[in-house]
Amino acid sequence: MRGGSWTGRPGVTGGMGNSVLVIGYGNPGRQDDGLGPALAEAVERLCIPDVTVEAEYQLTVEDAATVALHRYVVFADASVAGREPFFFSRVPPATHTSFSTHSLEPEAVLALGRDLFQADTKGYALGIRGYRFNEFGEALSDEGQQNLAAALHFIVPLLTTRTFDAAAEGIDSPVQMRKRP
């Protein structure tokens, strides 16, 4: 999934324009674990200018290059025990760069973008509260769908106004997003 456009070069102050990347990640085949990709699909359908959308099973090293092309990134994922219906918070880059060949956390992706591409991308976490994760099936729970709708209603205006910091400061402290096995 890709949308929007990018003008500029990573690593150059101001060169990333005002573009936003939304990465919705999780496994749609594990019920509410698919809340991140479901949000990404909904945002993609809106065709918001200067917003690029990705839907993935997990964050990987390759995401650092894509993140580096944008001024802002929103990492959307399901939350097992987070605030209902969702939480939104600022994500700083990790203080040191390390990675595995498997999944990464948002902080590590931002750190790799900084260290490898000199990017100054601002990161945010959107954790959507889910309820069913332990069975196979592509259907979201009714409660998860309601929380997805609330998260979408919240994030869409931010994607056009770019007032992410103000929004992150206006919501309670986050509960950490669900870690991938």
| pLDDT, position 18 | 82
Strand-by-strand arrangement of the 51-56 sheet? 51-56, 20-25, 72-79, 122-129, 86-91
Q: Residue 82 has what pLDDT?
A: 83
What is the 3-state composition of the chain as percent helix, strand, coil, each rounded to the nearest 5? 35, 20, 50
State residue 81's pLDDT score.
85
Report the pLDDT value the prediction gives residue 99, as an integer from 0 to 100: 56
pLDDT at 102: 57
Residue 154, Cβ density class (10 Å: 0-12 exposed, 13-18 middle, ≥19 buried): middle
Amino acid at 42: A
What the chain holds in terms of domains, given with CATH numbers, is: 20-169 (3.40.50.1450)
Q: How far apart are CA 162 and CA 181, in angstroms?
A: 32
**Cα–Cα separations (whole angstroms), residue 146 to 12, 73, 141:** 40, 24, 9
pLDDT at 16 (0 to 100): 63
The gap from C-alpha 17 to its chain's centroid, in whole angstroms, comes to 19
pTM for this prediction? 0.84
Q: What is the residue-level pLDDT of the chain in tens, covering all 181 positions?
A: 444 333 334 443 334 678 999 999 999 999 999 999 999 999 999 999 999 999 999 999 999 999 999 999 999 999 998 889 999 999 999 987 655 555 789 999 999 999 999 999 999 999 999 999 988 888 999 999 999 999 999 999 999 999 999 999 885 434 334 443 3
137: its two tokens: 């099936």
From residue 70, alpha-carbon distances to 88, 158, 160 in Å are 19, 15, 14
